[in-house]
Structure 1
Amino acid sequence: MSKKVEADKRNPKKFQYEFFGPIGAAIIVVLTTTVVFGLYFGCNENGCPAHPQKILSMIQNAKFIDVYSFQLYLCWLGALILAWHFLPGEWVKGVPIDEKGTRLQYKMNGFATISLVLGIASGFIYMKGPECMELIWSRFLPLMTSAYVVSILISFYCYISSFIGQKHLAEGGNSGNLLYDWFIGRLLNPRIGNFDIKVFSELRPGLILWIVFDIAFACRQYVMLNGRITDSMVLVLVFHSWYVLDSFVCESAVLTTMDVTTDGFGYMLCFGDLVWVPFTYGLQARYLSYYPVDLGVGFTTAIIFLQLLGYYIFRGSNSQKNEFRNNPTDPSVKNLKYIQTKRGTRLLIDGWWGKSRHMNYFGDWLMAWAWCLPVGFGSAIPYFYVAYFAVLLLHRYGRDDHKCREKYGDDWKKYCQVVKYRIIPYIY
């Protein structure tokens, strides 16, 4: 068989457009850009929502980017890459990416990286005082613009490099339309040597920066309140940090997600990882730095309970799925019921995954509520995350369901008859 035929077999051209094709991709690029910058100008010290005249005045006088902030962001990325290279970590094999069973290796040292970053930040605050974090909170907008520019540049690099040499392409990003393929991601595993750009971006720059911003805004509140931090800010900081640290403790679980196994790395994922996550997920901490809220014991206890419940469902279901895929003989999963598919794979219909097809989504959404409720009810804007996340999870479910119907055929229909609920047991 010729090399060309082998390449065509490995990188099939047949696909279906998602997001309504190139037009939908263009709309999403404009919409997401508008939202991420709109949240900054629409919710700040001038009001949440700010008056339209103040928004217009802010935009006219805003310094969207400067050389120092751009250099600062590049140093941030460079430091994380150096940490990936030098810090110790286990090399883990990912799932097979082709019919030959090729499995790429990934270095898992994210927890060491975030521990180093938080250690340095804590030491800096201890020696210089909370005021030192003004370097971060005062440059929120130019840092966001810098991350936005970098995400676009990386997206183009990955798109262009997908045409150089023999690469594994994402089926959904090999349409031949430049805009769509750049948006959705043509290259499945963009790499420089053993350095995987997609997996690195998935967890490192955005998630860690999210917590750094949270800490910076907590310091801002501390300064503004003359040495006090509200219970609401503590909850937000603890919940967000918990979520991110847990992601790094279970870092290898990302290798079985749709983002890594199926989706190409284009603007959609790159923008989401580098810009959307750190600059929108911390909206509650930014809001509380301007508008402090004291919750009291009762409300605080209720929110903590909701967070614990969501985490219990989220982590329990994800861990069970990951263990079943990677080590099905483990005592914790070996007795779980499943459907043996014609493809040779197995679909869980027991444990967490017998209650709904995406119990992890349900737990994740409950935690989203726990992150938003601490801001109180003075503004609806800080609840953007829980609304957006509901839409995101529903869309992810739809994409996953479509792919599984094509992949498993009648076996998926049988699975859906056994596991009837999509996300929320007995409701949806």
Structure 2
Amino acid sequence: MSAVSTAVNNGGELRQRKTIPEVTTTNEGRKADKLLDTHDTYEFGGPWGVTAMMVFFPMLMYYLWICLWFYDGQIVYPTSVDGIQPFLQQMWAHVRDDASPNLYAWKVYTGLIISQLAFAYVMPGYMQEGLPVPSLGYKTLIYNCNALLSVYSTIALAAMLHYYEIFRLTEIIDNYGHLMTVAMIYGFGVSFGTYFWTVARGEQMRMSGNFIYDVWMGAALNPRIGPVDLKMWAEVRIPWVIVFFLAVSGSCKQYETYGYVTPNMAFMVLATWFYLNACCKGEECIPQTWDMWGFMVIFWNFAGVPFTYVYSVVYMASHEPSEYRFSTPAYIALYMTLITAYYVWDTAMSQKSRFKMQTQGNFKYRWTFPQLPWGTIKNPEYIQTAHGNRLLVSGWWRYSRKPNYVADWVQSFTWGLVVGTASPIPYFYSVFFITVLVHRCGRDFERCGKKYGKDWDRYCEIVKYKFIPGVY
């Protein structure tokens, strides 16, 4: 690489380099990595906390869906002590009758799993080297990035099946509850199955000794089926494909019902396509960003993301367009906010991931649509740590430690804003998401403090704001 880079060494001064030298983990860094790969404290409230979340969150998913579909999108609750039992019986009746794991849901969801695994296994793709894995002796793994071809093949296949009335896309949203239950079953099954399989093979990592907590956090680090990396496969091929098709299904239902698609529903098709396409076109960046693979991630990818992020679609598919119609200026503002937030999110993710590839010496420009301006920093500034890694302080990352989180949250907020004040439930995504992001930042910053020590303090002096520049 010929770019001249400005580096901040671990003495603190700036110096010029004619290349970005490749990362070499120091002995000090190896010691820090070993400590980080050892369980030393409970997170998420420990065993009781994760047990509560594993039980409570599926119940919450059912409750919010019932409120959306059967109670005009409003929060319902018993108004007296005597009303609690009838209320719970009514809730259960909806789950039993309208969210049973019926044959349609099993066929559709299992078909998605099988087709996406098959596409991931056989489709040609872009071969990307991942980050060095400390638990594998700093070996790097190769990832076949074929999500782009796989997903658009899926879209083309679905369009053909819909056109010839073999598989009607409209039916997806009509079977939302049934599909959600099957997704939950898959989420629990894959989580516990992966845990037992990993332990049986003696490949478990960071075990605490508490069974339920270890299932939540995960025992596996890099699970694979042949050439298919399950973490990367589950990150894109399941949640975002479902999210997109739910939006498409809602559009089809509107068109068949009213003869047109509202700007609100079209907004959700665009927004979900933005996210799905971004994950596919930049799939080579994903191995730069993750860690363990347990219930927390598996259930969220299989059930949580696809069936809680698009509550606005569920609401619009079951209500008259007159209940959430906006003025033309409001539509323009909504679309522009989404596009701006997407641009910042896309380029921030690209800048960080490509910088990591540059430091590994394996960055190659991959042209996939759309490649946005400022997605790659030509002359990055960074802090050279005693660990051996480098901390980026250029581009969006000069102004905030998590600029991608800020833009990502703004996108999530627009997904609720698209229905205005018609229902509070579509805002669940953004409320839940900001809670997750704040907690995740605390975890990330704590780990970075342990990993980089005084270099992390120096980084925080340069990049002062955690989220919003000038605010927080």
Could you tell me how far 1:359 is from its partner in structure 2?
A: 0.5
1:4: which partner in 2? Answer: none
Could you tell me how far 1:84 is from its partner in structure 2?
A: 0.9
1:251: which partner in 2? Answer: 283
2:271: which partner in 1? Answer: 239
Could you tell me how far 1:120 is from its partner in structure 2?
A: 1.9
1:38: which partner in 2? Answer: 63
TM-score normalised per structure 1 = 0.90
| Counterpart check, 1:355 vs 2:436 | no
2:306: which partner in 1? Answer: 278
* 2:246 partner SS: helix
Could you tell me how far 1:408 is from its partner in structure 2?
A: 0.5
Could you tell me how far 1:45 is from its partner in structure 2?
A: 4.5
* 2:169 partner SS: helix
Work out the CA distance in 2 between the residues paired with 1:250 and 1:353. Answer: 18
Alignment deviations for residues 110-151 of structure 1 (CA, whole Å, 9 cap, x no partner): 11111011112223333439x922432222112111111111
* Structure 2 CA distance for partners of 1:68 and 1:426, relative to 1, 3 Å: same
Work out the CA distance in 2 between the residues paired with 1:144 and 1:210. Answer: 12
* Structure 2 CA distance for partners of 1:90 and 1:308, relative to 1, 3 Å: same
- Check conservation: 1:231, 1:300, Cα contact below 8 A: yes
| Counterpart check, 1:27 vs 2:52 | yes
Work out the CA distance in 2 between the residues paired with 1:10 and 1:391. Answer: 27
- Check conservation: 1:221, 1:290, Cα contact below 8 A: no
1:3: which partner in 2? Answer: none
2:332: which partner in 1? Answer: 301
Higher relative contact order (CA 8 A, sep 6+): 2
Amino acid at match of 1:212: F
TM-score normalised per structure 2 = 0.82
- Check conservation: 1:42, 1:49, Cα contact below 8 A: yes
Work out the CA distance in 2 between the residues paired with 1:422 and 1:11. Answer: 22
Work out the CA distance in 2 between the residues paired with 1:38 and 1:390. Answer: 21
Work out the CA distance in 2 between the residues paired with 1:276 and 1:152. Answer: 11
| Counterpart check, 1:326 vs 2:350 | no
| Counterpart check, 1:289 vs 2:322 | no
| Counterpart check, 1:92 vs 2:116 | no
Work out the CA distance in 1 between the residues paired with 2:399 and 2:37. Answer: 35
Runs of 4+ residues deviating >6 angstroms: none
Mean Cα displacement is larger for which, 133-142 or 88-97?
A: 133-142
- Alpha-carbon RMSD: 2.2
- Check conservation: 1:144, 1:279, Cα contact below 8 A: yes
* Structure 2 CA distance for partners of 1:296 and 1:342, relative to 1, 3 Å: same
* 1:162 partner SS: helix
Work out the CA distance in 1 between the residues paired with 2:226 and 2:279. Answer: 25
- Check conservation: 2:205, 2:220, Cα contact below 8 A: yes
| Corresponding residue to 1:119 among 135, 156, 160 | 156
Matches within 5 A, 1:159-198: 159-167=195-203, 169-171=204-206, 174-198=207-231
Matches within 5 A, 1:378-417: 378-417=422-461
* Structure 2 CA distance for partners of 1:183 and 1:312, relative to 1, 3 Å: same
| Counterpart check, 1:101 vs 2:163 | no
Could you tell me how far 1:11 is from its partner in structure 2?
A: 9.8
Consecutive unaligned residues in structure 1, runs of 5 or more: 1-8
| Counterpart check, 1:210 vs 2:243 | yes
- Check conservation: 2:285, 2:354, Cα contact below 8 A: no
Identity of aligned residues (%): 29
Amino acid at match of 1:424: I
Could you tell me how far 1:357 is from its partner in structure 2?
A: 0.3
* 1:357 partner SS: coil
2:19: which partner in 1? Answer: none
1:71: which partner in 2? Answer: 107
- Check conservation: 2:99, 2:179, Cα contact below 8 A: no
Could you tell me how far 1:166 is from its partner in structure 2?
A: 4.8
Mean Cα displacement is larger for which, 240-249 or 290-299?
A: 290-299
Could you tell me how far 1:63 is from its partner in structure 2?
A: 4.5
* Structure 2 CA distance for partners of 1:336 and 1:151, relative to 1, 3 Å: same
2:469: which partner in 1? Answer: 425
Consecutive unaligned residues in structure 2, runs of 5 or more: 1-33, 78-86, 364-373
1:314: which partner in 2? Answer: 345
Work out the CA distance in 2 between the residues paired with 1:427 and 1:200. Answer: 37
Mean Cα displacement is larger for which, 231-240 or 368-377?
A: 368-377
- Check conservation: 1:355, 1:421, Cα contact below 8 A: yes
* Structure 2 CA distance for partners of 1:121 and 1:72, relative to 1, 3 Å: closer
- Check conservation: 1:337, 1:349, Cα contact below 8 A: yes
Alignment deviations for residues 330-364 of structure 1 (CA, whole Å, 9 cap, x no partner): 89535222211111111112221110100111111
